[in-house]
Structure 1
């Protein structure tokens, strides 16, 4: 299992559009991927789960992946969330 914790700097957080992109990116991996905020974990491949997390600017989230491509999954999703600017 690989995990990475980061702070969301995007002024609008993870709203509908970036949530959809995040889910599409997560679905490209074989690994089980979860997103955690404030102790609540959701499947990062579920748009409803990601949207329900209500991730705002300044929120701390943890991306966790377990599977054959876990390292690449966490690395790519981390880059996406760190560069999120819309």
Structure 2
């Protein structure tokens, strides 16, 4: 499953928001990757990967899981909801 999401978090995925995103990704029942543009996908539960991604507010990222079952949908929904907040 794959979904594109616009990062609404005003600070982007840097420092504290990145740490909180990684924590949320780690709670998901399936592994999720996140990518920006043509960059290689990184593990959404990896602080180093997410910090390296450096997605700013207003940028579009792609969330992916390997399957398309209910756990995959729930994981993508949860991470999309997180990224769609302006403030956290």
**What is the TM-score when the length of structure 2 is the normalising length?**
0.85
Query: Which whole-Å CA distance do the structure 1 matches of 2:9 and 2:20 have between them?
Result: 14
Query: Which whole-Å CA distance do the structure 2 matches of 1:49 and 1:24 have between them?
Result: 13
**What is the TM-score when the length of structure 1 is the normalising length?**
0.87
The structure with more strand, counted as a fraction of residues: 1
Structure 1 unaligned spans of 5+: none
- Residue of structure 1 in register with 2:83 after alignment: 81
SS of residue paired to 2:13: coil
- Residue of structure 1 in register with 2:19 after alignment: 20
**2:30, 2:72 within 8 Å by CA — same for their partners in 1?**
yes
- Residue of structure 1 in register with 2:59 after alignment: 59
How many pairs align? 85
Structure 2 unaligned spans of 5+: none
